[in-house]
């Protein structure tokens, strides 16, 4: 059997399925020929079948909201209009009104933009055809353009159940999922989370000096960075229920975003533990590896390696890169600036992480200043003596580090803001605690 015969055999069930749906429109042979053309152009089989059905006026079947991805070229769905808002924009010098909001079903909600006035109204049940999907801030967004058509849908449409509301909370809003802070992952859309603001700053970005608010939020499960793209009235130490937020990720670190469609409700202060109890938590390394990182987390493990490049170093005064043989790879031979650091590999029995300790953290860990380390190296006539002292002090010991953990092609790493050696000389309590953690996760 040659390749063409094999392909025909593999596509046989799909051709018959399409031919049944297109009875009276195409013969089976015509279906096979047209499907082959789609595939020859590199269009995935599922998309090709859907496009063929649509092009020939057959019903491809609506998608659920949760099934819509940024890879979808065209989408049909049955949904309810959750919110609709007008917005005036300027196109080629002319003002135009578009409409945006949320569409939802029992699987979730998705933001949309209607580029024409489709007379959408909150609470409408609709059958939408030929919408297209774009990506906005790492999440799919539905677009209702010139090819889109809508018609009323007579059936009932259940929406995602609402999370419990606190007394006095604002009117209901719908969300695709409710998460704890520890469950937030890059790519989540229309997520609801309740968190306390533990750090807040206001700054301006971009050429137009747009004002945004950013910082950290937390609950009993951890902390997360956030960015609010408009003024929601957030206050330090305030507790908020944040609906229709979305999560971006940078090097595995989630960043909760509050855009135009986010709904923010202030809750009573006792809705979450006080800020003093929303401290960073000790996280097993395997958990950080699984989720790709974490904000302001603590890791506790044995120092299994102090990597070369630890101790006294010289940095380029132009770019701060570490000099190699007193030369910067970008700026050539320069007069280096002395610095102090530790690069170490921690292993907690569940995985390994590379942590970087800057000058201030290293000085506290060694109980020596940079100047004292320089004097030590001068006396020994070698910078290696400082790295040797670091190895003697932390090698094989249990070290607890705190900071943001991120991941990239080189693995999991942390820029530590704090580090301290464990007081306990025995590994038995730590082993027992680790075993208990793993058993609870398996149970």
Give the integer Cα–Cα distance in Å for 82 and 402: 42
Whether residue 189 contacts residue 176, with contact meaning beta carbons closer than 8 Å, is answered with yes
Can you give the pLDDT at residue 170? 38
Helix (H) or strand (E) holding 394: helix 384-394
User: Quick one: pLDDT at residue 442?
Assistant: 53
Q: Which residues are bridge partners to 217 per DSSP? A: 197, 224
Please tell me the predicted confidence (pLDDT) of residue 430: 59
Closest C-alpha to 130, from 113, 111, 144, 117 = 144
Per the listing, tokens 């299994």 go with 304
Secondary element (H or E) of residue 392: helix 384-394
- Nearest residue to 158 via CA among 243, 79, 83, 101: 79
Separation CA 36–CA 32 (nearest Å): 6
Q: Which of 122, 35, 129 is nearest to 82 (CA)?
A: 122
Instruction: Give the chain's length.
Output: 443
CB 141 within 8 Å of CB 113: yes
Between the CA of residue 281 and those of 165, 181, 221, what are the distances in Å? 27, 12, 8
List the chain pLDDT tens, one digit each, 443 residues. 555 555 566 778 778 777 776 777 788 888 888 888 877 766 767 667 767 776 776 655 688 887 787 666 678 899 999 888 888 777 667 788 889 888 888 877 788 889 889 999 988 999 998 888 877 655 678 899 888 889 999 888 877 654 444 444 333 333 457 888 888 877 677 889 999 999 999 998 877 888 999 999 999 888 899 999 999 999 999 999 999 888 877 666 788 999 887 889 999 998 898 887 776 668 888 888 777 778 888 899 999 999 998 999 999 998 888 888 888 888 888 899 999 999 999 998 888 899 999 999 999 999 999 999 999 999 988 888 999 999 999 988 999 999 988 876 667 889 999 999 987 545 556 556 656 655 665 55
- Give, as one character, the DSSP assignment of residue 322: B
């Amino acid at each position: 059997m040659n390749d063409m015969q094999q392909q025909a055999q593999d596509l046989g069930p799909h051709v018959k399925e399409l031919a049944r749906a297109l009875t009276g429109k195409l013969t089976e042979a015509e279906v096979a020929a047209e499907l082959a053309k789609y595939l020859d152009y590199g269009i995935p089989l599922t998309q090709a079948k859907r496009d063929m059905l649509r092009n020939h006026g057959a019903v491809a079947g609506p998608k659920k909201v949760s099934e819509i991805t940024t890879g979808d070229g065209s989408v049909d769905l049955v949904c309810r209009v959750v919110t609709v808002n007008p917005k005036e924009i300027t196109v080629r010098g002319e003002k135009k009104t578009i409409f945006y909001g949320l569409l939802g079903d029992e699987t979730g909600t998705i933001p949309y933009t209607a580029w024409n006035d489709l007379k959408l109204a909150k609470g409408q049940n609709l059958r939408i055809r030929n919408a297209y999907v774009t990506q906005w801030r790492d999440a799919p967004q539905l677009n209702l353009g010139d090819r889109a058509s809508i018609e009323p849908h007579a059936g009932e449409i259940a929406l995602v159940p609402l999370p419990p509301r606190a007394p006095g909370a604002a009117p209901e809003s719908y969300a695709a999922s409710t998460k704890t802070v520890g469950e937030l992952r890059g790519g989540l859309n229309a997520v609801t989370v309740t968190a306390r603001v533990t750090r807040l700053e206001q700054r301006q970005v971009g050429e137009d000096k747009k004002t945004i608010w950013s910082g950290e939020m937390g609950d009993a499960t951890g902390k997360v960075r956030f960015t609010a793209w408009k003024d929601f009235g957030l206050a330090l130490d305030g507790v908020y229920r944040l609906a229709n937020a979305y999560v971006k990720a940078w090097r595995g670190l989630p960043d909760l975003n509050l855009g135009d469609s986010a709904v923010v409700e202030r809750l009573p202060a006792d809705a979450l533990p006080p800020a003093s109890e929303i401290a960073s938590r000790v996280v097993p390394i395997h958990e950080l590896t699984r989720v790709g990182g974490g904000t302001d987390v603590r890791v506790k493990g044995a120092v299994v390696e102090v990597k070369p490049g630890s101790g006294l170093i010289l940095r380029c005064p132009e770019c701060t890169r570490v000099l190699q043989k007193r030369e910067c790879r970008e700026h050539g031979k320069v007069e280096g600036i002395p610095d102090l650091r530790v690069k170490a590999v921690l292993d907690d029995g569940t995985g390994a992480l590379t942590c970087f300790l800057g000058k201030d953290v290293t000085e506290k860990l060694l109980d020596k200043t940079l100047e004292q380390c320089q004097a030590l190296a001068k006396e020994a006539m070698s910078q290696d003596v400082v790295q040797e002292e670091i190895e003697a002090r932390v090698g094989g010991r249990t070290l607890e580090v705190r900071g943001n953990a991120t991941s990239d092609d080189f693995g999991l790493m942390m820029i530590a803001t704090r580090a301290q050696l464990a007081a306990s000389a025995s590994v038995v309590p730590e082993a027992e605690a680790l075993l208990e953690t793993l058993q609870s996760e398996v149970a």
